[in-house]
C-alpha cells in the first residue's frame, strides 16, 4: 500500500484529471466557433481540435464536439473519483498501519518505559495522533492534485494570453503572500491543539477510571473545572485554525473575483482576444482561483497536522528504542532459579541491594517483609519485567536473559495483587492461561481457586460477561479469577504476589491448601499478605530495605525472634 508504484499511480490519476480538465476547457472554443459561425475560425485551439478530429476521421460538427467534451468530462470526473477513493484508502490504511505499529510497539515495550510514559499518554499517541497522521496523507494527496490542476490552468491561460497570465499570477501571488504573512503559523497552532488533545484525554481517562474516588473525595467540581479550562484552550486554538483557513479561502476568492472583472476590462480594451478566447481565459481563471484557494487551505491544514505527525513519529521512534529483547534460546523447563548479588533501582531509589538466594522446582518459597521492602521487585525481576542493574539471575545455570522472553514467560505464571481482568466472559478470562484447555479442565481449576463458591450466583455461570476490569466482580472474586488463569497455564514456577490479599483468612487458607495439594510439581514463590499462609513453605526470606535479612522455615524464624517474628506477632494480635 505504501510502495512507490501506488504513489505513482495516484500521481498518474492526478495527471489524468488535469489533462481531461484542460480538454474540457479547450472544447469551449471550437463549440463556440461552430455554433456561432458554422465554420472554423482562424484560432490555434479550434485548429488543434479540427486536426485531431481529421486524423481519426470524425466529422467536425457541433454534435461530435458535444460528444467529445462529454467524453472528456466523463473521464475527468471518473479519474477524480478514483483519485479520491484511492486517496482515502491510502490515508485510512496508513492510519491503521500506525495504530497497529504503535500498539505492537507498546505491548513489546519495556515495562520501565511504559511506567514512565503512563497509559494516558500512550493511548493518546496511538489513537489520536495517528488519526491526524492519516489526515496528513489524505490532505497531501489533495495538494498534489491541486498543484497539477493549477499548472494545467496556467498552461491553458498562457496559450491564450501570456501577458494576461503574468498579470494574473502577479496579483494572485501577491495576495497569497500577504495572507500567509498576516495569519498565524498553523504549525504553532497545531502544536497547541495536540497538547490540549493530550490533556483532554488524560483528564477524561483519569476521571472515568477513578470515578469512585472522584465521587467519594468530592472532586467532581475540580475535574469539571480542569476540563473546562483545557477545553477552552482547545476550542480557542481549533477555532483560530479554522478561522485562518476560512479567512484565507474567503479573501482569496474575493480578490480573485475582483481580478476577473479587471481582466475582462483589460482583455476587451487592450487585447485582440475574441470573445471565445476571453471566455475560456476567464473560466480557466475562475477555476484557477478556486484551485489555489483550496491549495492554500490544504497547505495550511498540513502545517497544523504536521505537529501531530511529528509527535506520533517521535513517539514511535522512542518506543522502538525501548523494546524488550526477545531473542535467545528456548527453555524447556525451569528447574532452578538463583539470584547472585542482584541490585536494582527505580530511577535514583534503590530497591534491591546485592540480593542472593535460590529456589528449585517443587519448592515453596515465601517472601516476607514490610511494604516497600523489595518483595514485589524480586517477583518482577523473576518475570523479567525489569532487568537487574547489576548481578545475575540464572536458571539451570544460564543467565535468564539468554532465554527468549516468550519461552521464559511461558514457563512462569504471576498472580499480582491487582490482576487485570478483561472485558469478556468469566471463562474467556480464565482461558487466557491456556486457550486450548477443555471445559472440564476449566471447571477443575475453578474448584482449586474457589471460584465455585460464587459461580452459581452469576447469571450465566462461566459465560457471564464480567465487565470492564471485572467491574461486576468483587475484589476477592477478581483475585480468584487471576489465580485460576495462572493455574490453568500449568507453569513450572507459580508466583503469588499478595494474590489473596482481598480474601478473608479462611478462604485464603483454603486456596493455598488447594494449590499445595494439587498433583502439579509447581515451584511456588509467595509474597504473603498474611504470614500464616507461609507456615508450610520450605523456606522464607525476610526482606528489609532491599536486603535479605533472614532465611529459614516458619518455625525457625519465629524462634529467631527477628523481623519475621515481630511481623507475625503483630498480625496475630490483629
What is the CATH code for 336-573? 3.40.50.300
Bridge partners (DSSP) listed for residue 338: 358, 394
Bridge partners (DSSP) listed for residue 497: 527
389: helix, strand or coil: coil
Residue 221 burial class via C-beta count within 10 angstroms: exposed 0-12, middle 13-18, buried 19 and up? exposed
Q: Pick the range with the lowest mean pLDDT from 10-19, 52-61, 211-220.
A: 211-220
Most confident range (mean pLDDT) of 4-8, 256-260, 265-269, 459-463 is: 459-463
Per-residue exposure over 512-541, b if at least 16 CB sit within 10 Å of its own CB, e if not: beebeeeeeebbbbbbbbbbebbeebebbb
pLDDT value at 98 more than 70? yes
The strand pair at 349-360 and 493-497 is best described as unpaired
pLDDT value at 44 more than 70? yes
- Give tens-digit pLDDT for 299-337: 878 888 888 888 888 888 988 888 888 778 898 889 999
- Using pLDDT thresholds of 50, 70 and 90, give the confidence band for residue 269: confident
Pairwise pLDDT comparison (525 vs 120), residue with the higher score: 525
The percentage of residues in the chain with a pLDDT greater than 90, rounded to a whole number, is 16
pLDDT at position 398:
92
pLDDT value at 564 more than 80? yes
pLDDT value at 110 more than 70? yes
pLDDT at position 256:
76
Q: Which parts of 195-327 are beta strand (E)?
A: none
- Using pLDDT thresholds of 50, 70 and 90, give the confidence band for residue 185: low
Q: Which residue has the cell 485460576?
A: 484
Domain with CATH 1.20.1560.10 in the chain: 4-320
293 and 250 in contact (C-beta within 8 Å)? Answer: no
- Give tens-digit pLDDT for 58-95: 888 888 889 988 998 999 899 989 988 988 888 888 88
* CA-based nearest residue to 339, from 353, 325, 324: 353
> Which helix (H) or strand (E) covers residue 111, if one does?
helix 111-117
Most confident range (mean pLDDT) of 66-75, 276-285, 460-469 is: 66-75
Sheet of 349-360: strand order equals 349-360, 336-346, 390-395, 398-399
- Give tens-digit pLDDT for 9-43: 888 888 888 888 888 888 887 887 777 765 555 56
Phi, psi of 551 (to 5 degrees): -150, 135
Q: Pick the range with the lowest mean pLDDT from 19-23, 65-69, 229-233, 415-419.
A: 415-419
* CA-based nearest residue to 517, from 528, 509, 525, 507: 509
Average pLDDT, the chain: 85
**CA angle, 513 as apex, 509 and 518 as ends, to 5°?**
155
pLDDT at position 220:
85
pLDDT at position 356:
94
Bridge partners (DSSP) listed for residue 398: 395
* CA-based nearest residue to 548, from 343, 373, 340, 355: 355
Residue 468 CA, chain-centre distance (Å), reads 20
Q: Cα–Cα distance between 411 and 197 in angstroms, integer? A: 41
Q: Which residue has the cell 497538547?
A: 195
90: helix, strand or coil: helix
- Using pLDDT thresholds of 50, 70 and 90, give the confidence band for residue 3: low
Distances (CA, A) of 350 to 72, 358, 366: 75, 21, 22
pLDDT value at 419 more than 70? yes
Q: Cα–Cα distance between 510 and 504 in angstroms, integer? A: 10
Helices and strands in the chain: count of H runs, count of E runs: 21, 10
pLDDT at position 310:
86
* CA-based nearest residue to 277, from 439, 394, 165: 165
Q: Pick the range with the lowest mean pLDDT from 214-218, 428-432, 508-512.
A: 214-218
- Give tens-digit pLDDT for 355-389: 999 999 889 999 998 888 899 999 999 999 889 99
pLDDT value at 119 more than 90? no
Domain with CATH 3.40.50.300 in the chain: 336-573
pLDDT at position 183:
64
CATH 2.30.30.30 fits 4-320, yes or no: no
What are the residues whose beta carbons fall under 8 Å from the beta carbon of 386, sequence distance 6 or more? Answer: 111, 112, 344, 377, 380
> Which helix (H) or strand (E) covers residue 525, if one does?
strand 523-527
pLDDT value at 542 more than 90? yes
Distances (CA, A) of 107 to 59, 110, 126: 68, 9, 12
What are the residues whose beta carbons fall under 8 Å from the beta carbon of 562, sequence distance 6 or more? Answer: 542, 549, 550
Amino acid at each position: 500500500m505504501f510502495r512507490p508504484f501506488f504513489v505513482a499511480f495516484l500521481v498518474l490519476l492526478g495527471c489524468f484529471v488535469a489533462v481531461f480538465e484542460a480538454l474540457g476547457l479547450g472544447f469551449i472554443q471550437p463549440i463556440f466557433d461552430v455554433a456561432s459561425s458554422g465554420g472554423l475560425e482562424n484560432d490555434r485551439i479550434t485548429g488543434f481540435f479540427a486536426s485531431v478530429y481529421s486524423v481519426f476521421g470524425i466529422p467536425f460538427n457541433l454534435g461530435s464536439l458535444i460528444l467529445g467534451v462529454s467524453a472528456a468530462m466523463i473521464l475527468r470526473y471518473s479519474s477524480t473519483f478514483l483519485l479520491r477513493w484511492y486517496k482515502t484508502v491510502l490515508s485510512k490504511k496508513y492510519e491503521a498501519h500506525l495504530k497497529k505499529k504503535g500498539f505492537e510497539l507498546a505491548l513489546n515495550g519495556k515495562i520501565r518505559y511504559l511506567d514512565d510514559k503512563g497509559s494516558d499518554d500512550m493511548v493518546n499517541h496511538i489513537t489520536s495522533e495517528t488519526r491526524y497522521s492519516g489526515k496528513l496523507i489524505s490532505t497531501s494527496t489533495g495538494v498534489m492534485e491541486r498543484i497539477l490542476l493549477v499548472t494545467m490552468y496556467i498552461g491553458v491561460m498562457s496559450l491564450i494570453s501570456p501577458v494576461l497570465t503574468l498579470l494574473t499570477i502577479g496579483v494572485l501571488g501577491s495576495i497569497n503572500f500577504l495572507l500567509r504573512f498576516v495569519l498565524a503559523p498553523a504549525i504553532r497552532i497545531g502544536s497547541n491543539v495536540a497538547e490540549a488533545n493530550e490533556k483532554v484525554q488524560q483528564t477524561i481517562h483519569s476521571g472515568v477510571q477513578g470515578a469512585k474516588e472522584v465521587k467519594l473525595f468530592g472532586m467532581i467540581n475540580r475535574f469539571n473545572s480542569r476540563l473546562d479550562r483545557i477545553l477552552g484552550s482547545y476550542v480557542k486554538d481549533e477555532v483560530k485554525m479554522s478561522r485562518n483557513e476560512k479567512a484565507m479561502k474567503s479573501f482569496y476568492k474575493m480578490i480573485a473575483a475582483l481580478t476577473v472583472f479587471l481582466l475582462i476590462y483589460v482583455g476587451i480594451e487592450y487585447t485582440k482576444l475574441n470573445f471565445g478566447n476571453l471566455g475560456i481565459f476567464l473560466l480557466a481563471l475562475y477555476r484557477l482561483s478556486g484551485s489555489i484557494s483550496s491549495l492554500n487551505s490544504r497547505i495550511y491544514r498540513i502545517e497544523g497536522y504536521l505537529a501531530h505527525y511529528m509527535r506520533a513519529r517521535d513517539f514511535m521512534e522512542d518506543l522502538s528504542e525501548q523494546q524488550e529483547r526477545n531473542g535467545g534460546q528456548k527453555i524447556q523447563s525451569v528447574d532452578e532459579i538463583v539470584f547472585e548479588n542482584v541490585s536494582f533501582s527505580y530511577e535514583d531509589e534503590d530497591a534491591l541491594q546485592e540480593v542472593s538466594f535460590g529456589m528449585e522446582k517443587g519448592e515453596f518459597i515465601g517472601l516476607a517483609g514490610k511494604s516497600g521492602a523489595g518483595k514485589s521487585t524480586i517477583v518482577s525481576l523473576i518475570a523479567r519485567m525489569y532487568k537487574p542493574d547489576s548481578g545475575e539471575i540464572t536458571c539451570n545455570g544460564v543467565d535468564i536473559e539468554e532465554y527468549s522472553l516468550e519461552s521464559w514467560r511461558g514457563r512462569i505464571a504471576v498472580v499480582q495483587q491487582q490482576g487485570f481482568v478483561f472485558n469478556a466472559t468469566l471463562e474467556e478470562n480464565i482461558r487466557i492461561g491456556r486457550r486450548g484447555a477443555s471445559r472440564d479442565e476449566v471447571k477443575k481449576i475453578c474448584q482449586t481457586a474457589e471460584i465455585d463458591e460464587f459461580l452459581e450466583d452469576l447469571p450465566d455461570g462461566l459465560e457471564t460477561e464480567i465487565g470492564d476490569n471485572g467491574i461486576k466482580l468483587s475484589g476477592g472474586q477478581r483475585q480468584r479469577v487471576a489465580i485460576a488463569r495462572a493455574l490453568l497455564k500449568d507453569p513450572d514456577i507459580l508466583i503469588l504476589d499478595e494474590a489473596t490479599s482481598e480474601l478473608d483468612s479462611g478462604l485464603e487458607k483454603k486456596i493455598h491448601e488447594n494449590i499445595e495439594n494439587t498433583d502439579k510439581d509447581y515451584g511456588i514463590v509467595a509474597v504473603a499478605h498474611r504470614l500464616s499462609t507461609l507456615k508450610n513453605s520450605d523456606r522464607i526470606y525476610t526482606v528489609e530495605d532491599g536486603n535479605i535479612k533472614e532465611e529459614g522455615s516458619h518455625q525457625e524464624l519465629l524462634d529467631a525472634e527477628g523481623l519475621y517474628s515481630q511481623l507475625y506477632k503483630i498480625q496475630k494480635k490483629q
